[in-house]
Amino acid sequence: MAKEKKQPRPKAETPKGFRDYFGTEVTERAEMLRKIAGVYHLYGFEALESSAVETVEALGKFLPDVDRPNEGVFAWQEDEGDWLALRYDLTAPLARVYAQHRNDLPTPYRRYAMGPVWRNEKPGPGRFRQFYQCDADTVGAPSVAADAEICAMLADTLEQVGIPRGDYIVRVNNRKVLNGVLEVMGLDEGAQRDAVLRTIDKFDKVGESGVRELLGKGRLDASGAYIDGVGLSDDQAGPVLAFLTSKAETAARTLDNLRAAVGESAIGLEGVQELETIADLLEAQGYGPDRIVIDPSVVRGLGYYTGPVFEAELTFEILDEKGRKRQFGSVAGGGRYDDLVKRFTGQAVPATGVSIGVDRLLAALREKGRIGGTVEGPVVVTVMDRDRMADYQHMVGELRRAGIRAEVYLGNPKNFGNQMKYADRRGAPIAVIEGGDEKERGVIQIKDLILGAQMAENATLEEWKERPSQFEVPRAQLVEKVRKILDGQGQ
Closest listed residue to residue 255, CA positions, set 242, 245, 265, 246: 246
Q: How many helices (H) and strands (E) does the chain have?
A: 18, 18
Instruction: Tally the C-alpha atoms within 13 A of residue 258's C-alpha that lie toward its C-beta.
Output: 32
Cβ neighbours of residue 371 closer than 8 Å, sequence gap 6 or more: 28, 162, 362, 365
pLDDT at 239: 85
Domains of the chain (ranges, CATH numbers): 23-367 (3.30.930.10), 379-490 (3.40.50.800)
* Number of neighbours of residue 207 by Cβ within 10 angstroms: 13
Residue 468 carries which DSSP code?
Answer: -
Using only C-alpha atoms, the chain has a radius of gyration, in whole angstroms, of: 29
Strands lying side by side in the sheet with 406-408: 406-408, 379-381, 430-433, 443-448, 470-474
Share of the chain above pLDDT 90, in %: 60
The H-assigned helical ranges of 220-338 are 234-244, 251-262, 266-284
pLDDT at 328: 80
Annotated binding residues, written as ranges, equal 89-91, 119, 133, 137, 300, 304-305
Segment 172-194, tens digit of pLDDT? 999 999 889 888 888 766 777 77
Cβ neighbours of residue 259 closer than 8 Å, sequence gap 6 or more: 269, 272
Instruction: Report whether 89 contacts 137 (CB < 8 A).
Output: no
Amino acid identity, position 383:
V
Cβ neighbours of residue 408 closer than 8 Å, sequence gap 6 or more: 380, 381, 383, 389, 392, 393, 395, 396
> Given the DSSP bridges, would you call strands 379-381 and 406-408 parallel, antiparallel or unpaired?
parallel
Cβ neighbours of residue 302 closer than 8 Å, sequence gap 6 or more: 175, 178, 197, 198, 200, 201
* pLDDT tens for the 491 residues of the chain, in order: 567 778 888 999 999 999 999 988 899 999 999 999 999 999 999 999 999 999 988 987 655 444 444 578 898 888 888 889 999 999 999 999 999 999 999 999 999 999 999 998 888 777 889 999 999 999 999 999 999 999 999 999 999 999 999 999 999 999 999 889 888 888 766 777 778 878 887 887 788 888 888 888 888 877 778 888 888 888 888 888 888 889 999 999 999 999 999 999 999 999 999 999 999 999 999 999 999 999 998 876 656 789 999 999 998 877 666 666 677 888 999 999 988 888 899 988 999 999 999 988 998 888 877 776 666 899 999 999 999 999 999 999 999 999 999 999 999 999 999 999 999 999 999 999 999 999 999 999 999 998 888 877 776 656 655 667 899 999 999 999 999 999 988 75
Annotated binding residues for L-histidine, written as ranges, equal 89-91, 119, 133, 137, 300, 304-305
pLDDT at 227: 83
Segment 235-267, tens digit of pLDDT? 888 888 888 889 999 999 999 999 999 999 999
Model's pTM, two decimal places? 0.84
pLDDT at 459: 61
